[in-house]
Amino acid sequence: MWMLSFVPDALLYTVVIGILFTGIALYIISFVTRFIPPLIPYSGIARILGTILTVVGIYFFGSYSTEIEWRARVAELEEQVKVSEAKSKEINIQIQKVYVDRVKVVKQTQIVIQEKIKEVEIKIDSECSKVAPEAVDILNEAAAGVKK
pLDDT digits 0-9 by tens, 34-86: 888 888 888 999 999 999 999 999 999 998 898 889 889 999 999 999 999 99
Q: Domain of 103?
A: 2-144
Q: What is the pTM of this model?
A: 0.55
Q: Number of structural domains, the chain?
A: 1
d(CA 50, CA 23): 4
Please report which confidence band the pLDDT of residue 148 belongs to, taking 50, 70 and 90 as the band edges. Answer: very low
Q: What is the 3-state secondary structure (H, E, C) of the chain?
A: CHHHHHCCHHHHHHHHHHHHHHHHHHHHHHHHHHHCHHHHHHHHHHHHHHHHHHHHHHHHHHHHHHHHHHHHHHHHHHHHHHHHHHHHHHHHHHHHHHHHHHHHHHHHHHHHHHHHHHHHHHHHHHCCCCCCHHHHHHHHHHHHCCCC
